[in-house]
Amino acid sequence: MTVKIPMPALSPTMTEGTLTKWLIKVGDQVKAGDVLAEIETDKATMEVEAVDEGKVEKLIVEEGTSNIPVNSTIAILDGDDKDQNEGDQDQTKDTVGKIKKKEILDNNVVKKSSFEKKLGKKIIASPYAKSLAKKDKLTLDNIIGSGPGGRVIKRDLKNQKTSQSSIKTSQENISAPSSMRKIIADRTVKSKQTVPHFYLTIESKVDKLLQLRKKINENFGTKISINDMLVKALALAQMENPLTNVSWVEGQVIKYSSVDVSIAVALKEGLITPIVKNADKKGLIEISKEIKELVNKAKTGKLQPDEYTGGTISISNLGMFGIVEFSAIINPPQSSILAVGTIKKIPGVIEEEIRPISVLKSTLSADHRVLDGAVAGKLLNDFHEIIEDPFDLWLKSSDMEII
């Protein structure tokens, strides 16, 4: 009996992936639980296990192939030649259908995925267009024809030549984006186009917060960062403001019972947001250790889907780069994200004397479909009060002792 191995959906947001490496070859006997391949998703590289047993008859997709749609056939177990041909046809039909939905026409130039090219799609072009393309060293598989039946004609080549010339003059090196970068591009564009953002900024004096951090690090073995403390403070603020612990999903308001803070982590390929779950209930030391573990997993591509899927609010910190203030893009379906900058020393009046004070600017981006200005403003103000007078931050940390 033929068993078709599909491209698995390894995360809720995954629609396509890249097959980076086969760990089997034609003729191998596999059983359920055997690792078949390594798949690069929008978040990490993960191993794919077999759910059936049988002999490997055909590997349809080559190593390094990208843009493979979820559920399309990538290999066949125990199949005869007829079954293999049917598998190839199913693969072609599913993949081409998927890709056609994503094509965007712009001056008759089409952005084709590398996966479609590998399927060997037939190009229809006039004899003159073919000779002209050969002369000018243009590839016909990147062009959609405007002639009868989609035939590539002379004017299509002119458009393509003009487009390539424009690209070459402004950009010497062109490379395909990673799976993660493409997902980030899609999600951020969709967020900015469909989520009505509004922004609130507040300035906080954080001298007491810095003093508390210094005392904790002097008295405990684990060193905590300012970011660890901000995560805890944001969690406490959202816990005190349950009206902000919501999402707008398909015209409905979803309310959450837990407070799960997503942390923006920069990777070479893009950005990922691992989650500190139930952060309002955890101590500062516990949060600090958990963040270190999540960041290490993120940088080594070992995060599991449940470690970055979900979250009720996000925090993005660019203070280490000297950024004073910025506005972040909301990470749907969350309804808000807090952007924090660097801590600066400025002159301030304390007890009628001018003294240096440490200030931190924080900007909350909020979804106006589900959060009004007063509701979001109270969340930000509560966060501000916690970090200005961090007694509650220490008091509500279960792993803190008297210091």
Task: Give the active site residues.
Answer: 368
The total number of residues shown for the chain amounts to 403
d(CA 68, CA 273): 24
Cis upstream peptide for 332 (omega within 30°): no
Please report where in the chains the tokens 């801590």 appear, as a residue: 343
Burial class of 9 by CB neighbour count within 10 A (0 to 12, 13 to 18, 19+): middle
d(CA 393, CA 233): 6
| Helix axis angle, 154-170 to 127-136, nearest 10° | 20
DSSP 223: P
d(CA 274, CA 286): 15
Could you tell me which residues are beta bridge partners of residue 204? 360
CB 209 within 8 A of CB 387: yes
Residue type, 272: I
d(CA 234, CA 238): 6
DSSP 15: S
The strand pair at 353-367 and 197-205 is best described as antiparallel
